[in-house]
Structure 1
Amino acid sequence: MRHARYSWCVDNEVGHEIAEALGVLLRRTTRAQLHRQLTEGMGEGVDEVTYPVLSALARTGPRSAAELAPDVGIDRSGVTRRASRLEAAGLVRREADPEDRRAQLLVLTEQGRHTVAELRGRLAAHITASLADWPPGEAEAFARRLRRFTAEGPFA
């Protein structure tokens, strides 16, 4: 019985460690700081405020501001304001929703897709650089386990 209790405590400690690390990663200030670094020098309309909208559109495809809002973590009017900045920069365009002509979809332009590709490249390089001092194979193992955690863990 004592062994089972010890195992539960160790497992629970691991859960707390993971939860604490995720808390750091999920903080808005942490994300905003990363987005600021990634978007530096990207030009008009692309900054830490508009980055989440651009990134979400790349992940989800065309969406209305209302549909995109939960993915971005802001309300519809906030998405609309950010999308207007991205539209002015030529990265997003609005199209009539074929299923509801009253609604507008936000769609990445070709320039928007190129910008997202550059941002994703910057993010990958940033992550790779931060793992450069890890022992051989450890980063690869972490990547596999993180992918499994996101597929099978509490966020699946």
Structure 2
Amino acid sequence: MENEVGHEIADALGILLKRTTRTQLHKHLTEGMGKAVDELTYPILSALARTGPRSAADLAPDAGLDRSGVTRRASRLEAAGLIRREPDPTDRRASLLVLTDKGEHTVAELRERLAAHIAASLNSWPPGDAQTFARHLRRFITEGPFV
């Protein structure tokens, strides 16, 4: 029984964590947000919002990219005024990627879009199930195999 639940969760996580699943969601969320904000740059904005200023090399694992991929996407975001580069106080050779005020507003809108998209997808669930799911998902993340 326990292994059956484990397999069911593992299968669901496999779908959730697929790059194509994330890319489709990011494409939907960034629709109409301007040329610089798309499914390719979304992970950079999202990771910077979660972690704060980081170098491209440090941000790469959180964004699911390599350093050069982060750098290319960051250049697009910088040209659009969504991020800026600042000297890294701990390494003169490196620079930190930092969200600008415009970038923070963009991330806030993207998060609102994501929350609305999630809420809409749960509308057909019985009352209380969504809250229970959210509570258990948080517990799974904080106490489960990702700790």
TM-score in terms of structure 2 length: 0.99
- Residues 129-148 of structure 1 aligned to structure 2 (within 5 Å): 129-148=120-139
Task: Provide Cα deviations, 1:13-68, integer angstroms capped at 9, x if missing partner.
Answer: 00000000000000000000000000000012000000000000000000000000
What is residue 54 of structure 1 aligned with on the other side? 45
Segments of 5+ residues of structure 2 without an aligned counterpart are none
Q: Which amino acid aligns with 1:53?
A: I
In structure 1, runs of 5+ residues without a counterpart are 1-9
1-structure distance, mates of 2:142, 2:9: 16
Letter in 1 for 2:125: W
Counterpart residue number, 1:152: 143
The alignment-based identity, stated in percent, is 78
Matches of 2:17 and 2:86 in 1, distance apart?
32
Cα distance in 2 between the residues matched to 1:95 and 1:40 = 29
Letter in 1 for 2:18: R
1:117 and 2:108 correspond: yes
SS at match of 1:49: coil
In structure 2, the residue corresponding to 1:106 is in which secondary structure?
Answer: strand
State the aligned residue count.
147
Larger of the two Rg values belongs to structure: 1
